């Protein structure tokens, strides 16, 4: 029975790592595309507004929505690399076992937070799905969709971190 549990845990860890790595790679690729698109839109908008005196009504709005997606996907990338800002002055003074426990407890709290983000944001997306943005006339679900997508990606990274830390 113990061997079977080790086998299941090892396979689960392998698939979680695979999923986390692939989500991170996809996020990096999407951030690159979204940032490039946003840059092109903003540069084009500046050119049309100040050179041709004919601004696009939708450019600022689309750029804002792209920035929201970049922030949520970028947060997942930073979370995977453990690059979010943290204050470790007190944390580092604890013994290693207590640090491990605090890290575990922190990840559990973060996972609970992402659970609420995911469930509530899906409700929010359903609520705004028929609402159109003022200038671009696209569904607001596209803008609000960044919240559940980014939260799911970060939740996968947290679950992987929990499994890896419990393995240690």
Predicted pLDDT at 58: 92
Q: 101 is written with which tokens?
A: 């426990």
**In 3-state terms, what secondary structure has residue 17?**
helix
Q: Is the pTM of this model over 0.95?
A: no
The vertex-123 CA angle with 118 and 125, nearest 5°, equals 90
Cα 154 from chain centre = 5
Residue 11 CB neighbour total at 10 angstroms: 10
| pLDDT at 10 exceeding the cut of 80 | no
Band (7; pLDDT cuts 50, 70, 90): low
Specify the range with the lowest mean pLDDT, choosing from 41-45, 54-58, 61-65, 125-129. Answer: 54-58
Band (22; pLDDT cuts 50, 70, 90): very high
User: For residue range 149-159, what is the model confidence (pLDDT) as tens digits?
Assistant: 999 999 999 99
Predicted pLDDT at 91: 80
Give residues with Cβ within 8 angstroms of 163, minimum separation 6. Answer: 9, 12, 13, 16
Mean pLDDT of 16-20: 94
Closest CA to 94 of 84, 85, 106: 106
Predicted pLDDT at 167: 64
Residue 103 CB neighbour total at 10 angstroms: 14
Predicted pLDDT at 102: 87
Question: Where is pLDDT greater, at 25 or 85?
Answer: 25
């Amino acid at each position: 029975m113990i061997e079977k549990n080790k086998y299941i845990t090892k396979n689960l860890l392998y698939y979680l790592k695979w999923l986390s790595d692939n989500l991170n790679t996809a996020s990096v690729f999407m951030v690159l595309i979204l940032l490039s698109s946003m840059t092109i839109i903003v540069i084009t908008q500046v050119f049309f507004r100040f050179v041709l005196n004919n601004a696009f009504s939708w450019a600022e709005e689309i750029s804002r929505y792209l920035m929201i997606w970049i922030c949520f996907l970028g947060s997942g990338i930073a979370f995977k690399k453990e690059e979010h800002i943290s204050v470790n002055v007190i944390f580092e003074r604890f013994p290693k076992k207590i640090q491990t426990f605090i890290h575990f407890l922190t990840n559990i709290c973060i996972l609970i937070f992402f659970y609420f983000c995911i469930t509530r944001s899906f409700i929010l997306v359903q609520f705004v799905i028929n609402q159109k943005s003022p200038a671009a006339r696209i569904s607001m679900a596209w803008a609000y969709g960044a919240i559940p997508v980014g939260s799911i990606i970060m939740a996968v990274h947290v679950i992987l971190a929990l499994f890896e830390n419990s393995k240690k």
